[in-house]
Amino acid sequence: MNYSLTILEMAVIAIGLGLLLLDLWTPAEQKRQLGYVAAAALGLVLLFSFSSLVDSGVTATAFNGMYVQDDLALFFKRFFLLAAILVLVMSVEFADCIPTGISEFYALILFALSGMMVAASTNDFSLLFVAVELITVTFYVLTSFQRSRLASLEAGVKYLILGALSSAFMVFGIALVFGTTGKLNFTELAGVAAQFSADKVFLLGLLLVLVGLGFKIAAFPFQLWAPDVYQGSPAPTTAFLAVGSKAAGFVLLLRVLFGAVPEITAHWTRLLMAISAATILYGNLCAIPQRNLKRLLGYSSIANAGYLLLGVAALSRAGQSAVLFYLGGYLFTVLAAFTVICLVMRRMGGEDISALAGLNQARRYGHRRCGDFALLLFRRRAGDLLVRTTRRFVAHPDFHAHQSLPLPVRARHVCSRTVSGRCRQRGRQRGRDAEVLAVALKQRR
């Protein structure tokens, strides 16, 4: 069975159970510090994921092919571990808003993390459903964890009802796929899917599975839950929902579309592009009038799901790589934004966007780190600029025209060519402006 492949998931579950045991002997005033303990333990698990015991460089399977350990799975597991570490640290800062049960809050984050890591290695519809339910059920509790807040309870109820509905669609779709093909394993299904490309029941089953996954990633038209749940949930829960749950939905989407039914997916380019375009438009347009920051980020999450779907709609290796690249930047930008919300909004007693006025004046909020995180948000935009600049730099033809030269020499050559080209372009533009000005003066005389 090769159970050793699941060592990362078992380690995360063990940390969650150990955290609940530590809560029994930890004084009440020190329980919030257990978040740092959990984050440090996850840091060790993250470092261990780079060892040869986990990353052997070859694809391996367990549980009769239901579980697969490959490069894609390792990327997402490390992604989820890093996201959980940052969310746990954020939760420590948010602990004042959770009067009781903070250790359970930390443990539920870890259990949700284990579901995400299982989702990264899913190679079977049955395991897919188990992973999705493990993630969703824990978020049912996390979204409504602030029982004294009506908005939190409302968010939990909405997420529960719509999540149960999407799970029903998904399991019905899985039943239709299994009923027509007799296969649940993605590898086995990929070998026979082409034979059922004209079977309407089989195609309906796949569409229902996509409906369930569309709910996870908040894609149009299954995005209605996102703004309300984002607004009512505790900020760390919303951050983990925006980053971890969405990434889990996309890794499952990649597994199903490109691992289970690649021949069917090749005919769905227009459908994926239409869903992507509608998701982008809906998220961006509805975000314009928003005043609540968390609700605004909810619509932003919908729009980002559309951008990520563009990489899926490309139906290529480059498109899949683009999804992973985008998620890497999305992780830090979203968590930075929610960290500011944790530090600022809980002191202001509201979530209106006007509370960000004067964020650079740290003393106004009695917390110097607020100013630091304002600088972090600025660096976020600078980081986006750096990524775009690096991409253009590497794509420059002169960078690849001199492969025999050392990298620093090629970099200096590209920079000099680019700067000199820009200077010549500006010089020519100024010359044209001078000619136009001279003609205008003559006509005036």
Give CA–CA dist 213/190, Å, rounded.
19
Hey, where are the domains in the chain? 3-357, 405-444
Q: What is the pLDDT of residue 14?
A: 93
Model confidence at 125, pLDDT cuts 50, 70, 90, reads very high
Query: Is 135 a residue whose pLDDT tops 70?
Result: yes
DSSP state of 288: T
Q: What is the pLDDT of residue 234?
A: 87
More confident residue, 438 or 153: 153
Q: What is the mean pLDDT of the chain?
A: 81
Q: What is the pLDDT of residue 281?
A: 93
Give CA–CA dist 273/266, Å, rounded.
12
Q: What is the pLDDT of residue 435?
A: 66
Give CA–CA dist 376/369, Å, rounded.
10
Residue identified by tokens 């660096």 is: 379
Model confidence at 393, pLDDT cuts 50, 70, 90, reads very low
Q: What is the pLDDT of residue 139?
A: 92
- Calculated CA dihedral for residues 269, 272, 275, 280, nearest 10 degrees: -100
Q: What is the pLDDT of residue 248?
A: 92
Q: What is the pLDDT of residue 411?
A: 47
Model confidence at 3, pLDDT cuts 50, 70, 90, reads confident
More confident residue, 1 or 167: 167
More confident residue, 414 or 308: 308
Q: What is the pLDDT of residue 176?
A: 94
Q: CA-CA distances (angstroms) from residue 170 to 17, 165, 177, 279, 379?
A: 30, 9, 11, 20, 40
Query: Is 408 a residue whose pLDDT tops 50?
Result: no
Would you tell me the crossing angle of helices 225-232 and 150-181 to the nearest 10 degrees? Answer: 140
Q: CA-CA distances (angstroms) from residue 115 to 9, 67, 131, 260?
A: 8, 13, 5, 20
Query: Is 17 a residue whose pLDDT tops 90?
Result: yes
Q: Give CA angle at 382 (376, 387), nearest 5°.
A: 125
> What average pLDDT score do residues 154-176 get?
91
